[in-house]
Amino acid sequence: MRNFLVIFVSVFWLFSVSIVWSKPVPVENYSRLPVFYDSALSPDGKFLATVMDNNNAYILRVFNIADPEDKKLRAIKYPKKIKVNWVHWANNEQILLSTRQTEEIASSSTIINTGYLYVMNKDLGDVKVVLKPQLEDGGGAAGRLANSGSLRQFNNVVVDFLPNDPEHILMSYGIEDQFAPGVYKVNMNTLRKRRIERGSVNFQQWITDLSGNVRVAQGRNERTGIWQMKIKEVGNERWTSHKDFPELRAGRSIFGFTSNPNEMIIGDYDNKDTLGLYIYDLSQKKRTRKLFHHEKYDVNGIIISADGQKVVGASYTDYAIKRGFFDPTSKSQMEKLQKGFTGYQINIIEQTRDGNKVLFKARSPSIPPSLYVYDFSKERIVFSAPDYPEIDNIVQGDVTKVRYTARDGFKIPSYVTTPAKIGSGEIAFKNQPFIIMPHGGPYARDTSQFDYMAQFFASRGYSVLQMNFRGSTGYGYEFSQAGRKNWVLMQEDVEDGAKWLIRKGYADPKRVCIVGWSYGGYAALIAAIKNPDIYACSASIAGVTDLQDMVSDLKRYRFGRHNAQHFLLRGFSGRDDMNANSPVKRAKEISIPIFLAHGTNDVVVHFDQFTRMRRALKSSRAKTTFVKLEDGDHSLINFDHRKELFTELDKFLHDNLGQSEAAP
C-alpha cells in the first residue's frame, strides 16, 4: 500500500506538433488527464516537483530547472489505488506528498477516503510515512462511522508548512480519538511530534497567523451542529471564547491574519449581497475596516506576498479568476506577467519567497492549459510544458459568454462552446446539435476557461451550453440561496436554457442531449423525466438517482444529519416532494435513450445509486447504455476509466444525435 518504486520516464511532452485532422481527434486526446496534476517549486526556486503523466499513469517527478545540464532522473511511481491530493516542498531538501485511497469499514461496508502524508528527499529517495494511521486506543469514539476500529482516517492534515522553520510543519490529528484533532509540531528529519494544542471534538479546524502561531480553533458540535470558535489573543496562552468578541459569530469565515497579529481577516456581507473581506481587530474587539468587497461577486480568498509576510490582495471570480491588489509592487509584477500572456487566464500556483520565480498555469477558454515557471530576475520562462500535448496545436471550439432569461425574468450567466467550423464561419450557427451540460455540486460554478469535456463535444461537432443556474456559487447570497432553497428552480433554470437555444434557432429541436456529472448527472436524469419533448437523449455520470437514499448515505458519516439538511433536505418541501424529484422513483416514465456511468468506489455518490437506477430502468421504454467503471472514484482520476467513459459516450451521442455538419 505504501511502497514506492523508482521508474524511468520518457519526456514525451517536449515535442511540438501541427496536425490537420481529416477526422475527429481520437477520444483519448480529450479523455486523458492533464499531464500535470499538481506542481510545486522548491523554496530556493532550483527544483520543480510535479505529479505528472507517464504512459497513462501519474508519477512523481522532480526537475532541476536551475541547471539544464543536470540529467539525473528523479521519478517514482505509486500503486494505482493511491490518488494524490497535492505535492509541496517542506524545505529545499524534502518533499511532502499528500495522498488518499479508498478503504472499506468492515463493520458497516461503508467506503471512506483515508489520507496519508509522505516525506522524501528531493532525489525521491528515503520515502517515509509521516503519520501512521493507527489510533492509540483503537478508536476512541466508539460506534461513530468513519472511525474504523484502530484506523485513523485523517493522517495528512497540514495546518501550516512553517516556511520560516524549514525543519518542521504543523499537523492536525487525533491520538486517541480521531474526531478530537489537536495540533502537533512535526520534525521532518526525525518525524518526532510534539503537541502544540490539545484536541477537542468540537473543533475540527485550526488557523494560524502569518508567523505560524495557532490563533483560531473552529468547528461544530456533532450532536447539535452548532458552530464553536475560540481565539488566542496576542501574548495570551489561554483560549478565549468567540462570545467575548462582539459581532464575531462562531461560523463566520476566517481567511487569516494581516501582518498585524491582532488583525483577523473575516468574511462579511456588510448589508450587501456579496461576501467581502473585513478586518476584525482582536485588541479592540470590533470590526475596524474593509479590506476588499466586490459589488457583484463573492470574494474567494486572500493573496499573500511571496515572502509570506503580508496580505497583498484578494481574489474573486466573474467569468474567470480575478485579483484585486492592495500592494503596488505585487500588482505591477502580476501586470508584467499578464502582459506576456495577453488573452490568457493565469492561475498562480506559488512563488518563491524571494519573489524571483513564479509557478503558474496559463490557458484561455479555447487554448488548453500549460505549466510555466517564469524567472523575473532573468525575465524569461525557465520551464514550460502543455497539459494536453496531443491537442495543444489543434484549433478548439470558441467559447462565448451569454445570458439567457429564465421564465421569471432572471438572467442566467452561461457559456456557449461552438465547434471550430462555426467559429471560422464555415457553417452558420443555427439548427445545431447541442449538448446541455449543467455543472456538478450543485453548489459550485462554471467559468470561462478551457473545459476538456465541452471541447471534446465540440470536436465531435456538437455545440455546448453550460449555465450557472441559481444555486451556483460566487454570485452573491441571494443567487446561491435561491437554488439551495428550491432544487426545482435549479432544474427549471437548466430547462429554460435549452428552450432558449431552440427558440433562438441555435439548436435543432430534435438534436438536443443533456449530459451531466454528479449533480449534473442528476439534473440530466430528472430532465429526461420532466422534459422528454426537449431532449433526444440524456447522459448521467456519477449522478444522484435516489434523493432519500442520498440522505441516508450522508447520515452514515460524521455531521451527516446536518450536512443532509443543509445540502439537500432544505431544497424540498418533504418526502413526497423528494420522491417526485428522484429519478429512480419515476424511472418507468423515461422514454428517451439513457446513458448511465458510475465508478464502483465513489465515496461522494455511492455506486448503489447506479445499481438502483439500472434496475428501475428495466420497467421503462428507454433504450439504455450502462457503463460500470470498476474501482472508479467520483472524479474518475484514472486514464483507463476516462477513456472508457468518453469512448462509450461518443458512441451514445453519435447514435442519438447523428453526424454533425460541424464535425471535422
| CA gap 36, 53 in Å, rounded | 7
Residue 3 has pLDDT above 60, yes or no: no
Cell 511532452 locates to: 13
- Quick one: pLDDT at residue 494? 98
Give the pTM: 0.92
Specify the CATH class of 398-657 in words. Answer: alpha beta
Confidence of residue 106 (pLDDT cuts 50, 70, 90): low
- Residue 228: strand pairing partners: 219
- Asked if residues 7 and 54 have their Cβ atoms less than 8 Å apart, the reply is yes
List the alpha helices (DSSP H) in 125-269.
none
Residue 12 has pLDDT above 60, yes or no: no
Strands 411-418 and 398-405: antiparallel
What letter represents residue 505's amino acid? G
| CA gap 527, 549 in Å, rounded | 20
> Considering the chain, what percentage of its residues have pLDDT values greater than 90?
84
Which among 74, 69, 67 has a CA at the least distance from the CA of 11?
Answer: 74
Mean per-residue pLDDT, 647-664: 96
Confidence of residue 104 (pLDDT cuts 50, 70, 90): confident
| CA gap 492, 511 in Å, rounded | 20
- Quick one: pLDDT at residue 8? 34
- Quick one: pLDDT at residue 1? 33
Every domain of the chain and the residues it spans = 398-657
Which among 626, 606, 605 has a CA at the least distance from the CA of 615?
Answer: 626
| CA gap 545, 614 in Å, rounded | 10
> For residue range 276-292, what is the model confidence (pLDDT) as tens digits?
999 999 999 999 999 99
- Asked if residues 1 and 48 have their Cβ atoms less than 8 Å apart, the reply is no
Confidence of residue 448 (pLDDT cuts 50, 70, 90): very high
- Asked if residues 434 and 465 have their Cβ atoms less than 8 Å apart, the reply is yes
> For residue range 531-574, what is the model confidence (pLDDT) as tens digits?
999 999 999 999 999 999 999 888 888 888 888 888 888 889 89
Confidence of residue 412 (pLDDT cuts 50, 70, 90): very high
Summary mean pLDDT of the chain: 92
